[in-house]
Amino acid sequence: MDISSIVGLIFAFGLIIGSMMMGSAPMSAFISIPSALVVIGGAMAACMTCFPLSNILGTPKVMLKVLLNKPADVKGVIEQLVSLAETARRDGLLALESRMDEVTNAFVKLGIQMAVDGTRPEIIEDIMRTEVDSVATRHQTGKGIMDQLGRFAPAFGMIGTLMGLIMMLSNMSDPSSIGAGMAVALITTLYGAIIANAIFMPFAEKLAYINKQELSSMEIIIRGVMAIQSGENPRVIEQKLTTFLPPKQRPNRDEAA
């Protein structure tokens, strides 16, 4: 499991909360439930207006995906594809039927099953590529929601601060309360900046990264399945697929700078 995102999140909030506690003001000066409601509620409301309900409801799953992201074992997938290619070459495509249980990757399974079923190669590729598009679209929507939350959170933070300033300014009978009023007004801007910069914007970036990795490994699988289906030499398949790996992970070849 890639714990970088969890560590980053804990680190960011630890820093912020630590700074608040070490400051000259009591911690309570930084806590305001109504401010949190305006910023988080406002950003969520704006996002609900942007996307259909089904996508909004998938947001927690998307955020968990960022936190628990387990990078695909591309090397293992390539080894399995090469092993399947050997079986297919030796005993024919139908012999793969008996090995379907070993295959854990759903996308490899989909492709090999179609090859075993005798589906025409162009239909196999068409269906697998539509699958890739469908995964990319789901990722884009997930990233889109994070992007919009990261954009609307500071905006509603500013809206909250403007409301606080108007309240304070329209009632300045007691000058000594001006400072406290402004402090309260600034809290929504602070909340908006924190959740956008510590959560939503980094999550959107991470989703873009995960998407790129996943599409790249799906591309490798498509090439592998097509090669198996056409009965190519397992050695050539291995050589072709390993060129997708970064130099350090390849079996034995010179690295280029």
Question: Given the complex with a second copy, which of 46 and 95 has the nearer CB atom?
Answer: 46
| Whole-number Å distance between alpha carbons of 231 and 161 | 66
Q: Alpha helices of the chain — where are they, by DSSP H?
A: 4-22, 33-36, 42-50, 53-57, 59-67, 74-91, 106-116, 121-169, 178-194, 201-229, 234-242
Q: How far is the CB of 76 from a second copy (least distance, A)?
A: 15
Question: Given the complex with a second copy, which of 90 and 118 has the nearer CB atom?
Answer: 118
Q: Please identify which residue in the block is written with the tokens 């499991």.
A: 1
Q: Contacts with a second copy in 124-153 (CB under 8 A)?
A: 126-127, 130-131, 134-135, 138, 144, 148, 152
- Pick one of 37, 95, 136, 215: the residue that binds a second copy (CB under 8 A): 37
| Whole-number Å distance between alpha carbons of 198 and 180 | 26
Question: Given the complex with a second copy, which of 95 and 193 has the nearer CB atom?
Answer: 193
| Whole-number Å distance between alpha carbons of 183 and 30 | 9
Question: Given the complex with a second copy, which of 45 and 94 has the nearer CB atom?
Answer: 45
> Residue 32: CB partners within 8 Å, gap ≥ 6?
184, 187, 188
Q: Contacts with a second copy in 76-135 (CB under 8 A)?
A: 105-107, 109-110, 113, 123, 126-127, 130-131, 134-135
- Tell me the angle at which helices 106-116 and 201-229 cross, rounded to the nearest 10 degrees: 20
Q: Which long-range contacts (CB under 8 A, 24 or more apart) does 158-163 make?
A: 158/188, 158/189, 158/192, 159/38, 159/42, 159/188, 160/35, 160/38, 160/39, 160/42, 160/185, 160/187, 160/188, 160/189, 160/191, 160/192, 161/185, 161/186, 161/188, 161/189, 163/38
Q: Which stretch binds a second copy (CB under 8 A): 74-82, 90-98, 223-231, 241-249?
A: 241-249
Q: Contacts with a second copy in 6-35 (CB under 8 A)?
A: 7-9, 11-12, 15-16, 19-20, 22-25, 29-30, 34
- Pick one of 180, 230, 233, 235: the residue that binds a second copy (CB under 8 A): 180
Q: Which stretch binds a second copy (CB under 8 A): 74-82, 83-91, 223-231, 243-251?
A: 243-251
- Pick one of 101, 246, 251, 252: the residue that binds a second copy (CB under 8 A): 246
- Pick one of 101, 251, 252, 257: the residue that binds a second copy (CB under 8 A): 257
Q: How far is the CB of 246 from a second copy (least distance, A)?
A: 6
Q: Contacts with a second copy in 197-236 (CB under 8 A)?
A: 197-199, 201-203, 205-206, 209, 214, 218
- Pick one of 88, 189, 227, 228: the residue that binds a second copy (CB under 8 A): 189
